[in-house]
Structure 1
Amino acid sequence: MAGHAASVWVGQVAVMAFGAVDTIVAGRHSDLSLAALAIGSSVFVTVYVSLNGLLTALLPIWAELHGGRRLAAIGPSARQSLYLCAAASVLGMALLLHPQPILRATQVPPELRTVAAEYLAVVGWSLPASLLFRAFSTLSQALGKPQLVSWLQVVALAVKVPLSVGLTFGIWGLPELGVVGCAWATFAVNFFLCALALWLLRTQPFFVALGLWRRVEPPHGPTLRAFARLGVPAALTLVVEITSFTLMALFVARLGTTATAAHQIAANVTALLYMTPLALAIAASARVGYWRGAGDEARARALALLAVKLALGLALLMAAAVLLLRGWIVDIYTAHAGVALLAAKLLAWVALLHVSDAMQTVSIFVLRCYRVTLAPFVVYCVLLWGVGLGGGYLLAYHGLGPLAPQLSPAAFWQAAAGSLLVTAGVVRWLLGWVSARAVEAQA
């Protein structure tokens, strides 16, 4: 599990470094570019991560087929996932290519709204390629081959960095496009990754036994319904989780460019920290799914509970590092004194939030192996939307009881940290209960 998680972590950090590179590049270009990136990337990440949830949720299905030695059944299942990719692409592009209603509803200032819409128009066309690559990633991770994905993502980062710098500042003979240049770099990298994934599927002997390269069957109702029962609640859960953070950026935008830029730095650091529990969650899902497919519920439960303990230990170490190094971290992102001062304050809340976020992430992913997706969705709606986002909005703009309005993005981070702490406790208890029942049922 540790080896699997390490491979996934390398690739996920490379992917999140895409956002870190864009944040640094936009911050060096101008405060307006950084603020526009905060808005545009918030909308894109909301759509992208939520739709990725549809495909990532298939990992337990393919891992169980792998554990049960039913490799020939994976090929038809993987081909059916192409229909899921197509439907998700249509839905996502409709939202990304027409973002004005969302930007107006959240009262994003007009000067930011135009640039953010231009950014989204470019990255929206790259969504089909990114979703196909996510399907490849999920399949590789389910089969215990995460290194295939990680190496591709590291190579893609080497392509992304010069493209973002060159297209933003107009160097090396490239046009100067400002923050939209970061979007074009993302577009190019997503199609590059998709092409490399198709090449691996055609050339790697490991995939031959799966029988992937056959005629695509018509849509198979039972298979697609099984995908939907697992994938749709998982995707909706991710919608709640990601929007509880990305809507923060849209609500913070009305506080001005400095607040928005500082919030973007805090959000980017949070996303980078999230890669460690995410990697562990993916690895744990693959191993728990494998052993459930092999018929060993006791071993599956032991791995599930161990993964949560590992997540907690690693999160405490990383939170301590952020608290100690937050001044240095902020200096990497911006040279603006006001932005740096506010961002350093926000990182203290980021450190606290990360500990709870790590535990609930691993618990949620492993619960999918037990086909438990609806209960986490309800918990997320109540706590992350109601307590986290709603409470943060009240603390920031209206006050809460005797507390006066803070008029600061810190209010949102305080409420988010509290809501995630309760969420982590609830889903951890649910995981322990469900896995224990599975062991008892098998006995």
Structure 2
Amino acid sequence: MGVGPIHRPAEGGAVADTNRGVVYQRPGEVTVEDLDFPKLELTEQNGRKLQHGVILKVLATNICGSDQHMVRGRTTAPAGLTLGHEITGEVIELGRDVEFIKRGDLVSVPFNIACGRCRNCKERHTGVCENVNRDRPGAAYGYVDMGGWHGGQARYAVVPYADFNLLKFPADRDTVMAKLQDLAMLSDIFPTGYHGACTAGVTTGSTVYVAGAGPVGLACATACLLLGAAVVIVGDMNARRLDQARGFGCETIDLAEHADIPEQLDQILGVPEVDAAVDCVGFEARGHGPDGSAGEQPATVLNTLMDITRAAGRLGIPGLYVTGDPGAPDENAKIGQLGLRIGLGWAKSQVLTTGQCPVMTYNRQLMMAILHDRVQIARNVNATVIPLDQAPEAYAEFDLGAASKYVLDPHAVPATPN
């Protein structure tokens, strides 16, 4: 992934370059469009000035399963939304009030947008900042109902409250660029997977079941191993993704073949339960087994996890659940009301932790694990680098179950046709 030249006018000010990004058009369709060059203001909030912000040249920006929910039409995302909340870049312009971040810094951007000033931010609940979304706590880049902030699947992007939000890479530029595919996972999926593992209580010697072998599930399985789990078992219906999980030491259960998860756990562990479980699937969960039960069953993962987790165990739930799902299989699910067996969880004294990962809680230590070769997260999630203009094809392949984590390189030089 190369870093092209930065062009500035002789007297400073905005960068004299064009912007281009990935835009949601309608269910099943995204396009790559020319965009306005970003300004340090939020036009969706009456031109609110962002003197505390910076403009980044985006070096890597990833396609996320959460983006895919929007592209499938499973949210109320509006046409014209620039997508993307996983951003790694170089600082090229500074707002007047930025003190500690400098031009040329290479940085990771937590997908949570946080002010650093409100009660929740001060308590490190940065996923539910009170000041960055007029409608409810919490905001993110390029996501429906998350504050109107422009997405980062683009050549350039704005980050507000830069001194608070940005994680500066301490290594030299050559080291950062050599590890950029790994470091690109710090904006979301690696901390999110780690959050799922931590909230599930994973520790040395734990047995863990991870529901879902998509990028977040594979990142969670990686985190479980990093935390010292004895056995990590990943369940999915996608054989290629299960192959990926086995490739770095996980046990697997093919849910397209086996509906009885406790029986499979018993074969692996000698008991039909685990110490901890993590839901990395979310609201588009499907039924298990070869008997035609593979239709959508939004509560099936949560109910299964309560069933297979030991009494007094913990469940991490970083998988996305929404309050509005126009494509849901029933009227209750359309408003996020699911048929949970909460009585089972209560009877077993289990702890369930939900919500966005507060990325800032974890990203610095995970960065150090990457820089010092303690983990190879890009390899484990099969990071696949493509030019920005190939994003529509990548979205289509991801929707079909590609066993890849697509990383967009917005400044890649297009290949010369033969």
Tell me the TM-score range normalised by the shorter chain: under 0.3
For CA contacts below 8 A with separation 6 or more, give which structure has more relative contact order. 1
Structure with greater proportional helix content = 1
Give the alignment's TM-score, normalised by structure 2. 0.28
